[in-house]
Structure 1
Amino acid sequence: MDTQESGDLLLPRSRQANERLHAMIPGGAHTYAKGDDQYPDDLAPVISHGRGAHVWDVDGNRYVEYGSGLRSVSLGHAHPRVVEAVRRELDRGSNFVRPSVVEVEAAERFLATVPTAEMVKFAKNGSDVTTAAVRLARAVTGRARVAICGDHPFYSVDDWFIGTTPMSAGVPAATTDLTVAFPYGDLAATEEVLTRYQDEVACLILEPATHTEPPPGYLAGLRDLADRHGCVLVFDEMITGFRWSEAGAQGLYGVVPDLSTFGKALGNGCAVSALAGRRDLMEWGGLRHSGDRVFLLSTTHGAETHSLAAAMAVQTTYAEEGVTARLHALGERLAAGVRDAAAGMGVADHVVVRGRASNLVFATLDEHRRPSQPYRTLFLRRLLAGGVLAPSFVVSDALSDADIDHTVDVVAQACAVYRKALDAGDPTPWMGGRPVKPVFRRSV
């Protein structure tokens, strides 16, 4: 049964599977952003499989999926070129006691794709490489403090960042005190932080762009600040890599960081991430320098051949098929359709699409135009009932025009309900239960 053809969405098998998940896995998922608290009551589908831009849940419902794999699946699920590359390496063995020639090929391919970097080291997830970047910056500078852009939501599961969030339980205050924040887009405020902690800040780390474009001259200004204050500039390109351009935001805006981190779309769902940067910095974690050794990255599974093969297949597909341009075109079509649908139902000021076309998110605002979890719940519930699984509107290359047309139709239906709730001044009757919750919160 397709949800497109049904009325109210019923997920009895997903509900049972969610109960089993909670019985064995803290939080019921291995990523907090995938938790069932992020979805309306009893409407958290458990996925059976996916192909292209569609996924199927264990109840047999099909959805058009956005934000695939938390932005990691940019080519679509089970992409043929990626699957074939992975299968070929699996038949040859995936992990050995010495480096594989695939590691050479993958490093060469990555550095050709991101020519602003001179060396690269692979790992499995984003936290591995952002934390390695922080450790390296501390070693090189001899400084302890880390300056994070406080306007960006996530950098790592490690203490240096998690201690700054509402979920700081278990992180010593002494660790958290070493992390300071600066605001995005404000060079004067950033310089004030660097001056206040003169000669104490090891690095500035930020996503070079998110739902807003960097102000003119901002990234170049950060580059200058880092140079003048003797700290390392780190670009977290987990999201911008392979969405802004194949070489990330640094490739688009022309500002070269000292270190940068990539992941997510790099493997099209396969576990692979990368720390890249200047040779003189990266070699601190190697064997060809004269100083003290730095424990940069050492992971048993960081160079599994099938994941590196997936990364190479992704990069080849992007280069040969113009994927970045298509992601932008698909996003522009979707954003225009959603905005028109919201305007047509009189909720253009309340259902708001934001972000670069290749990385769209949406805001759900109440009658006072404030962010609202209850209204988000209502909106998600109507999307799911129409066969659209969309915690965001981040597109994948596998979407068709028909998928986007269907999504816009469902959004229009959701906006009609949204209008009723606004007129009533209360979304509760349309929520179907408790509101969805933010990921980072102090209490359950």
Structure 2
Amino acid sequence: MSPSGQKFENSHRLRDIAHRLIPGGCHTYAKGDDQYPVLAPGFIARGLGSHVWDADGNEYIEYGMGNRAVGLGHAYPPVVQAAVQALATGCNFTRPNPIEVECAEQFLRLIDGAEMVKFCKDGSDATSGAVRLARAYTGRDLIACCGDHPFFSVDDWFIGTTAMNAGIPEATRKLTLTFRYNDIESVRALFEQHPGQIAAVILEPARTEDPKDNFLQELQRLCHAEGALFILDEMITGFRWHKSGAQKFYDIVPDLSTFGKAIANGFSVSALAGKREFMRLGGLDHFDKPRVFLLSTTHGAETHALAAAIASMQIYQREPVIEHLHRQGSRLAMQLDQVVRRHDLGSWFKIIGRPCCLLYGTLDQNGKPSQTFRTLFLQEIIRRGVLAPSLVVSYSHTDEDIERTVDAVDGALAVYRQALEHGVEKYLVGRPTEGVYRHYNRPSEVLASPPTDGVYRSAAATR
């Protein structure tokens, strides 16, 4: 795939308007302008399968897949058809719709250890609901979350642990503790320091590394011995590691678990699921404990979104979606590893994670993680027709997509190699990207003015 000039005139125009009307210019921090190079598509207009088109008509093979919310592919026909059919009879009513029962039955057939489920619209509500249940059930206030996992919720109990904690009272921040993944002693130390005070431990089943030495099972045993609930956040791992979640893959049944993202192939559906003993506290048929205001959302059971979820889950159940994700991810990782070795960049560019959920790491001349080199890499693969904040494949990614992506990365890493030798400033246009969690914005984040003609021209030599 040879580099070609790309115009971003519409994206630049929309960006100016967006930043006047919307704080940050968008509604998800991970989609913000500070997460992408100056020369990047600012707005995606449409998608189909594994491809997207930006507001200026430029086409890309995409690997962000809606921040991993699109597992089957953009505008996947059976899912869209199910949603449209449901919309034809109305999407929201004053009493429950039968599809709520149907969707719950379908979900609980897939997630073996769960006995009850409550649907909502985003992952934050689901994880916060799990935290509230744990506190109500145990009568304790403290929550322990994995400090190696980057995001659990927009709510105060989690955001208070990050550098971006403005507006969150110090008293609230003190209620959440952190531990290290695959380090059972770090959790044990928390229980020893706060005896009888921790309501729950919450973590992702895995991220870039698998649990070692039965870490999940040992952690669950420790939680139960200390009277705390064990919660798995499956927003990412659910419908990627296994159709029944990473809990099935790792052979463990949590007290509570949360799902979202790929459950409805991009439609807004998330889920809090778990054992009846805990979930019933949010219901009407218990009298031994106080009622828990668990989850109550006006739009939480919109019929078209639940129809999309049912269609998506049925596809996962009858088709080899998970096998395809692992196969294509493995194919991509293997070929990219060859490209990295060909450019002798093994010490500076890393492919990490499971094949079904690949990430990459960018390091500078000193072997330190570098946002500047990440920005350069993004810039160079974008100019070659690939949009890849991660390397997450979908059911729609074809062998041809993989081959074209490998070719694009090959060209981008040739520039990366030159930047290591001659200085990244010679090749990067504009400011580098920034991590989301930072206490202050920096002057360098002010959007650089694009080229006056709106055409993408890099200072980098091309192949």
Match of 2:117 in 1: 120
- 2:147 aligned with 1:150, yes or no? yes
> In the TM superposition, what are the counterparts of 1:80-95 in structure 2 within 5 Å?
80-95=77-92
Match of 1:435 in 2: 432
Q: Select 2:72's aligned residue among 71, 75, 88.
A: 75
Match of 2:337 in 1: 339
Q: What residue identity is the alignment partner of 1:397? A: Y
- 2: distance between equivalents of 1:320 and 1:393? 25
Asked if 2 retains the 8 angstrom alpha-carbon contact of 1:9 and 1:384, the reply is: no
- 1: distance between equivalents of 2:110 and 2:20? 44
Match of 1:293 in 2: 291
> In the TM superposition, what are the counterparts of 1:320-339 in structure 2 within 5 Å?
320-339=318-337
- 1: distance between equivalents of 2:99 and 2:193? 46
- Quote how far apart the aligned CAs of 1:5 are: 6.0
Q: Secondary structure at the match of 2:222?
A: helix
Q: What residue identity is the alignment partner of 1:19? A: D
Q: Select 1:230's aligned residue among 219, 227, 230.
A: 227
Q: Secondary structure at the match of 2:237?
A: coil
Q: What residue identity is the alignment partner of 2:168? A: V
Q: What residue identity is the alignment partner of 2:371? A: Q
- 2: distance between equivalents of 1:160 and 1:387? 40
Asked if 2 retains the 8 angstrom alpha-carbon contact of 1:36 and 1:44, the reply is: no
Bigger drift between 225-234 and 187-196 goes to 187-196
Asked if 1 retains the 8 angstrom alpha-carbon contact of 2:39 and 2:379, the reply is: no
Q: What residue identity is the alignment partner of 1:199? A: G
- Quote how far apart the aligned CAs of 1:58 are: 1.1
> In the TM superposition, what are the counterparts of 1:1-16 in structure 2 within 5 Å?
7-16=4-13
Q: Secondary structure at the match of 1:302?
A: coil
Q: Secondary structure at the match of 1:441?
A: coil
- 1: distance between equivalents of 2:202 and 2:40? 37
Match of 2:49 in 1: 52
Asked if 2 retains the 8 angstrom alpha-carbon contact of 1:76 and 1:396, the reply is: yes
- 1: distance between equivalents of 2:6 and 2:90? 43
After TM superposition, what 4+ stretches of structure 1 lie above 6 angstroms from structure 2?
Answer: none
Q: Select 2:98's aligned residue among 101, 112, 130.
A: 101
Q: What residue identity is the alignment partner of 1:380? A: L
Q: Secondary structure at the match of 1:151?
A: coil
- 2: distance between equivalents of 1:286 and 1:16? 49
Q: Select 1:253's aligned residue among 237, 250, 254.
A: 250
Q: What residue identity is the alignment partner of 1:359? A: C
Match of 2:217 in 1: 220
- 2: distance between equivalents of 1:96 and 1:377? 46
Q: Select 1:136's aligned residue among 133, 136, 146.
A: 133
Name stretches of at least 5 consecutive residues in structure 2 with no aligned partner: 442-463
- 1: distance between equivalents of 2:99 and 2:292? 25
- 2:395 aligned with 1:397, yes or no? yes
Match of 2:238 in 1: 241
- 2: distance between equivalents of 1:316 and 1:5? 39
Q: Secondary structure at the match of 1:417?
A: helix
- Quote how far apart the aligned CAs of 1:6 are: 5.1
Report Cα offsets for 1:150-197 as digits up to 9, x if no partner.
110000000001111111000000000010011110111211111111
- Quote how far apart the aligned CAs of 1:216 are: 2.7
Match of 1:419 in 2: 417
- 1: distance between equivalents of 2:237 and 2:11? 33
Asked if 2 retains the 8 angstrom alpha-carbon contact of 1:15 and 1:42, the reply is: no
Q: What residue identity is the alignment partner of 2:151? A: F
Asked if 1 retains the 8 angstrom alpha-carbon contact of 2:63 and 2:390, the reply is: yes
Q: What residue identity is the alignment partner of 1:248? A: G
Q: What residue identity is the alignment partner of 2:368? A: R
Structure 1 vs Structure 2 CA RMSD: 0.9
Q: Secondary structure at the match of 2:271?
A: strand
- 1: distance between equivalents of 2:11 and 2:286? 54
Q: What residue identity is the alignment partner of 1:122? A: F
Aligned length: 440
Match of 2:405 in 1: 407
Match of 1:166 in 2: 163
Q: What residue identity is the alignment partner of 1:196? A: Q
Asked if 1 retains the 8 angstrom alpha-carbon contact of 2:325 and 2:393, the reply is: yes
Identity %: 50
Asked if 1 retains the 8 angstrom alpha-carbon contact of 2:41 and 2:55, the reply is: no
Q: Secondary structure at the match of 1:257?
A: coil
- Quote how far apart the aligned CAs of 1:43 are: 1.9
- 2:367 aligned with 1:369, yes or no? yes
Q: Secondary structure at the match of 1:416?
A: helix
- 2:15 aligned with 1:22, yes or no? no
Name stretches of at least 5 consecutive residues in structure 1 with no aligned partner: none
Q: Select 1:207's aligned residue among 204, 209, 213.
A: 204
Asked if 2 retains the 8 angstrom alpha-carbon contact of 1:63 and 1:389, the reply is: yes
Q: Secondary structure at the match of 1:174?
A: helix
